[in-house]
Amino acid sequence: MAYGNSLDRFRSAARVLDSRASSQYSNSERLRPDYDAALGAAIPRFSGQAPQAYLDLARNAARRHGVPEDLFLRLVAVESNWNPRAISHAGAIGLAQLMPDTADLLGVNPHDPAQNLEGGARYLAMQYRNFRSWRLALAAYNAGPQAVNTHGGVPPFQETQNYVRRILGGG
């Protein structure tokens, strides 16, 4: 009986340590510098113009979800040019150009600027956790994660390649 109790105590302690280590790892990943080894360079600074209220909302949403602020600001500039009423030819809505189904999945109102930015930052963070690369996360944000999976990287669509390049500063 003593052996069984010792083994149970050991397993219990191991579970506690595993959960603590997992939490610490997640926090260290969240605080990792804004550097993508696949890019070989830091993410370029956002230097565009935007209404201060939207800049503040976007910065806060990016911080909350562990997205590099400059990357998210550049994404919003490319997606909507900071127009909260922008609607794309494909039906994407608002500042972060959320598709209606994506907004539903995220539980946000895409017509509300604060919720739209919150949803956009959360969705980009989801793609980063999935692909472990900001380059691929941006491609998935633009073309969809299935396209990135199907092509094993940035899809060979001119729009997506230009999108990633514009945000990451390569042209």
Q: Which residues are catalytic?
A: 79
Instruction: Cite the DSSP H helix spans in 31-168.
Output: 52-64, 69-80, 100-106, 113-131, 134-143, 145-151, 158-168
Residues 168 and 135 sit within 8 Å (Cβ to Cβ):
yes
In eight-state DSSP terms, residue 87 is B
| CB burial readout 72-88, b (16+ within 10 A) else e | bbbbbbbbbebebebee
What's the CA dihedral at 4, 9, 13, 15 to 10 degrees? 50
Whole-number Cα distances in Å, 131 to 96, 106, 124, 164: 20, 19, 10, 14
